[in-house]
Amino acid sequence: MTIRLALVGYGYWGPNLARNFSRIKGAELRYIVDLDAKKRGRAAEEYPFIKVVASFEEVLPDVDAVIIATPPKTHFALAKLALNAGKHVLIEKPVTTNVEDAKELAKLAQEKKLTLMIDYIFIYGDYVRYLKGLLDKGELGTLHAFQFQRQAIEFLRRDVNVVEDLMTHDVSMLFYLLGEKAAKPRKITAVGKSHFIKGVEDEAIAYLDYGDMTVTLIVSSLSPVKMRKVMILGDKKMAEFDDMKVAGKVEVHEKEIKGPLEAPANYWDFIVQCNPGSTIIPYVKAREPLANMASHFIDCIEKGKKPDTDISFGLLVTDLIERINAQVKGSAPQ
């Protein structure tokens, strides 16, 4: 059986989705849909064998699944239309602009027994999956902290701020690596500021306190240096993922923390002992994350499997992002 697909949206991310889904075994990218004539012209030039149209409604009877890569404010209406038409749906992050809309989509997908998957792309990266394996095996020991940093100066968005656009990537990785515990911080502290577009924050910092561990998230659209980095700090080992490296993106630092010391008797006893250890750069056989994600979506439709990033996962991410963003909005002069 060949899964017939329609891609809705051919802006920033759409061409990457078209490139991958047009190559996936067991799938046929039959339509590319966009309201913008220039984008349709680009799609037709790059994919002359795919039908390029302006109307979403007209393609629904002729496909099995739709891929939504349009501005976030349109996600809910398009996904609802597709689900009501009996189509499986893949939505780019963020799934919706609020939790209530996401819950409605979840209910609809469940009632109609359809696959509803969110493209949190970093979760489908083999390096992040390697980190997950380290945590599942307990190799880092007791976890003390996660540190995420994501910044660049590519373009400023008007439709979403950096929490909804950039921090969503890191919060999705946090849930994947930590599990549902990520949903229950004891305290959230978050601030942000808009420097250029009024009401749309272009930098933000969030600090999540879980009692026994902490999470720091830093995002910015104003940095001249592009960074995508994750640090996981355990008491036995520490792991680092730097997505901007060409090779050796994951490093495992065998730096063990011994302490705290009790009843210090002299100056040196005040110092918590740290074993510097070695740094290991493991070999990770890596494929393009987007190719992994596309294959997973088709596999879930064919076999009726639950996606790794299904709508229930998306609800967790959306809820925490919404709570962080509420504090950011409260801290930033509009």
Q: What is the mean pLDDT of residues 326-333?
A: 78
pLDDT of residue 1: 81
Reading across the β-sheet that carries 27-33, which strands appear in turn? Answer: 51-53, 27-33, 3-8, 65-68, 88-92, 116-119
**Architecture of the domain delimited by 3-122+290-306:** 3-Layer(aba) Sandwich (3.40)
Residue 272 has pLDDT above 50, yes or no: yes
Residue 5 has pLDDT above 80, yes or no: yes
In the chain, where are the structural domains located?
3-122+290-306, 125-289+319-331
pLDDT of residue 115: 97
Split at pLDDT 50, 70, 90, the class of 334 is very low
Strands 214-220 and 203-209: antiparallel
Beta bridge mates, 196: none
Tally the C-alpha atoms within 13 A of residue 160's C-alpha that lie toward its C-beta.
21
Tokens of 188: 């959230």
**Architecture of the domain delimited by 125-289+319-331:** 2-Layer Sandwich (3.30)
Amino acid code (one letter) for 138:
G
Cα-based distances in Å from 52 to 15, 144, 212: 13, 50, 53
C-alpha to C-alpha distance for 12 and 14, rounded to whole angstroms: 6
Q: What is the pLDDT of residues 26-79, one digit of tens each?
A: 999 999 999 999 999 999 999 999 999 999 999 999 999 999 999 999 999 999
Q: What is the pLDDT of residues 103-134, one digit of tens each?
A: 999 999 999 999 999 999 999 999 999 999 99
Where does residue 73 rank: exposed (0-12), middle (13-18), buried (19+ CB within 10 A)? exposed
Tokens of 41: 């012209």
Q: What is the pLDDT of residues 190-201, one digit of tens each?
A: 999 999 988 899
Q: Which 3 state secondary structure label does DSSP give 23?
A: coil
Cα-based distances in Å from 85 to 6, 109, 311: 13, 11, 18
| pTM exceeds 0.85, yes or no | yes
Please state, for a pLDDT cut of 70, what percent of the chain lies above it.
93
C-alpha to C-alpha distance for 76 and 154, rounded to whole angstroms: 27
Instruction: Round the average pLDDT of the chain to a whole number and report it.
Output: 92
How would you classify residue 199: left for phi > 0, otherwise alpha for psi between -120 and 50, otherwise beta? left
Q: Which 3 state secondary structure label does DSSP give 291?
A: helix
